[in-house]
Structure 1
């Protein structure tokens, strides 16, 4: 029997994963539950960004509850190196678990992409069974752009991905995107009706915490003192192009510059990056941190880094920016000046943009931040204001509530 305000959320990533899409998927689920919806999340076991299943998880099927949300976790294939055919098989294995699962008869199904192919399989199930459930596809990344911008999808692979992505989005009752440029793309390139597209920004998901002195935070983490700390957090994947940061640190060694780069997190490219960074002294790789330690990392930094591979400009909105804005530190973004990440820095007035793939420009920008204290304080304040006005969680959840009301008016 159909529950009056039931929502099923399908997503590969969910809490307790600390970074990427998981905080938004779990945040939406709990936000809807707090607003009176019956919410069930069908998700994978936590595995990101390390790409290995977290200790204590890994059962074929596990059920739990958290903050009013019923959570069902499904075991799927998790490749250590999530590229190419291995990444596809991972998504297909999760999609197979979803189409074989019991969903009940919810009013709304919200499918999160990534993963695209699991979302496509779920969409096919809904349409073949002629379900009465309304389908919302929540687009966090655009696969077609990702393949073209990273150079990983050409020929048949690229055409197939484009067809699957376009069909999936056109088959949805509503498409939610996290940036206005995504909205333009899905309308212009995939033929989605503009009236079916809604922009709802990702939000700053970090709780307000007591300010920690930078020196104390560095001491607690064992990070260098008395130098400029440039910190990058989050996934270490292909699109981040973090070889550029390694090269900037190597150049800092040559110049004997008073700076140290910290790469916080994990990902499919971490081992390769560590090998590439052998012998570089002004660079530290930091394993993923707990929530409390991550707060220390945000407090310890002098400058935050966004780095994207040359050619990457429109495929994704870096989720790390919401945390950076929250922390009130200046940002240096090494990226395409016409891309989404650059537009976020410019609109928020929270830092500077330098060309992607130019380690000298990256290093110079970091060092210049250290020499202009008044401007860096202003950048930090601007980022916090942008976070409060544009990226508030309450703003986003209210947008979701209005969308759900429009699709399934409450009786």
Structure 2
């Protein structure tokens, strides 16, 4: 497997790459992963990995080959290009010395796709790509500085990687048209949704709220996960500012890390209804989600078909309603509406967001109905039966067909 993101990263793509690799190892496959240094979502290399060029380690029965690369604390098109170039250069000059039977690449990143294709060609074996985010569309839609100029180049490299793959998996059907437009035959494209990589909550909800300092009188709206550009989290800051002005019993909480956290903290100075939490560990995470009253997923209005937030698979395990401040025509809106577990409102509209939170607070029966829908739709199907790899069985939402 080639995946820039891997454990101990516990948000984003890392958990999916890790669980696939560990599942394959558990079936008896000699499984190797070419990965970067752990850095997400903080965009800082994790303690214990800093200053090291190459590491070979065993995790969960998997041999992980790590290569050093740049980690830009702030995202621009140029810095992202340097990040990709460093991944590609180090992975190319120092590949794992193994001869695989199949190469499975998780994209992003672009460098991972190029490296995966190169390793597969050198060994004369199939290259299977699972598309978690569409990189060309991401450069175009996410608002990254210089992204418009980079989109065409990123899209061209991405298209070349996908056309060369034996099989392409996409995590949502909204990606299919873009992938086939790149010249990938439709017969090679399979929808392989992600699963939930967290367990349901197990702690005492009132105790968790008390520990976090959340009053029972307040309606807590929680956003958990990466604080990046595409999330457009400014809408939550402005909704909290409105809550201050209206003296609304609403607390908005941003939990996690990312390259926009410092910017959001500066923007939120003096806003009493907004607070920040550091990322929760894997055991605590479900309990914090369940302690909130409402869970938020936000995206910029320009984000349509380039990604599907991995947080949804965690949110849908909590029994809490979800508010999606996203474009109505995008895949994220489709998933929330399909689940029946939440509502979709216009993106980048803090007034509408606060109004929806207050409406749920005023109608606890509706909030409970939505929460029950989110809990009820979890099964254990084969994730990758159409990929030409071994069947991978894990939990996923029945809404993600």
Common fold: TM-score over 0.5: yes
Asked if 1:347 corresponds to 2:334, the answer is: no
Runs of at least 5 residues in structure 2 that lack an aligned partner in the other structure: 392-401
Equivalent-residue separation in structure 2 for 1:361 and 1:332 (angstroms): 11
Equivalent residue for 2:87? 94
Equivalent residue for 1:55? 47
Name whichever of 220-229 and 274-283 sits farther off.
220-229
Change (3 A) 1:272 1:238: same
Equivalent residue for 1:196? 188
Equivalent residue for 1:395? 382
Larger helix share, 1 or 2: 1
Of the three residues 123, 126, 142, the one matched with 1:150 is 142
Asked if 1:299 corresponds to 2:284, the answer is: no
Equivalent residue for 1:361? 352
Equivalent residue for 1:335? 326
Asked if 1:186 corresponds to 2:179, the answer is: yes
Runs of at least 5 residues in structure 1 that lack an aligned partner in the other structure: 1-8, 407-411
Q: CA deviation at 1:347?
A: 0.4
Equivalent residue for 1:290? 281
Equivalent residue for 1:22? 14
Equivalent-residue separation in structure 1 for 2:223 and 2:199 (angstroms): 20
Equivalent-residue separation in structure 2 for 1:356 and 1:89 (angstroms): 31
- Verify the 8 A CA contact 2:239 2:351 in the aligned structure 1: yes
Q: Give 3-state SS (helix, strand or coil) of 2:243's partner.
A: helix
Q: Give 3-state SS (helix, strand or coil) of 1:26's partner.
A: helix
Q: CA deviation at 1:38?
A: 1.5
Equivalent residue for 1:165? 158
Change (3 A) 1:225 1:40: same
Superposition pairs of residues 6-155 of structure 1, within 5 angstroms: 9-58=1-50, 59-100=52-93, 101-124=95-118, 126-127=120-121, 129=122, 131-152=123-144
Equivalent-residue separation in structure 2 for 1:89 and 1:70 (angstroms): 27
Q: Aligned-residue CA RMSD in angstroms?
A: 1.8
Change (3 A) 1:178 1:93: same
Equivalent-residue separation in structure 2 for 1:80 and 1:296 (angstroms): 29
Q: CA deviation at 1:126?
A: 4.0
Equivalent residue for 1:217? 208
Asked if 1:174 corresponds to 2:167, the answer is: yes
Change (3 A) 1:92 1:281: same
Change (3 A) 1:183 1:13: same
- Verify the 8 A CA contact 1:330 1:380 in the aligned structure 2: yes
TM-score by length of 1: 0.90
Name whichever of 63-72 and 248-257 sits farther off.
63-72
Equivalent residue for 2:389? 404
Superposition pairs of residues 223-262 of structure 1, within 5 angstroms: 223-262=214-253
Equivalent residue for 1:4? none
Equivalent-residue separation in structure 2 for 1:332 and 1:209 (angstroms): 20
